[in-house]
Amino acid sequence: MQLDDTDRRLLNALQRRGRLSNAELSEAVNLSPSACHRRVQRLEKDGYISGYVALVDPRKVNRRTIVYVEITLSAQADEVLDAFEKAVARVPEVLECHLMAGAADYLLKVVAEDAEDFARLHRRALASLPGVQGMQSSFALRTVRQTTALPI
C-alpha cells in the first residue's frame, strides 16, 4: 500500500496526540468520520500503526537517570548474539537495544533511579549478560529533544 497525503496527515496527527477521538481526528485531517475510521483501520491492518501507548514521565516513577551503554561481545557467532538478545530482553530497565555496526556490538538505552541504582544494575544484570566482554557507559546530563514521532 502506498501512503497518500491524507494517510500522512492521519499518521502525523496520531503521533502527536494518539488519544484523539475519531471525530477530532477526522476534523483535524479534513475527512468525514466514517472515511477517517476506515483509513485508520487500514493503516492498523497494514502495519503502519503498530500500537498505541501511554508515555509515562520517567521523573514521576523515579527513573530520572538515562544511561547509554555500549556492549562488546566476546564473539559474533549466532548463538552468542541470540543468547545475549534473549537475556537483555528480560531486563526491564533496558528500554532499547540496538545491534550496531562499528566499535560496539550493541547500544542499550537504560533507565535507573540514580548513579547508585545504575551501578547495581550494571553489576547484577548487565555484566552478567551472556557473551559480554566489555561495556562503556555514558550518562545523559539533560534531554534536549525527545520524540516518538517519525517524520512522514
HEC sequence for 26-47: HHHHCCCHHHHHHHHHHHHHCC
Residues of the chain with pLDDT under 70: none
* Grid cell in block for residue 110: 537504560
**One CATH from 3.40.50.970, 3.30.70.20, 3.30.70.920, 3.40.50.300 for 65-139:** 3.30.70.920
Could you read off the pLDDT of 57-78 as tens digits, one per residue? 999 999 999 999 999 999 999 9
**Fold exhibited by the domain 5-45:** Arc Repressor Mutant, subunit A (1.10.10)
Type of residue found at 106: Y
Q: Which residue in the block uniquely carries the three cell numbers 561481545?
A: 73
Domain boundaries, the chain: 5-45, 65-139
SS3 (DSSP) at 132: strand
Task: Name the nearest CA neighbour of 7 among 52, 44, 54, 50.
Answer: 44
Model pLDDT, residue 152: 94
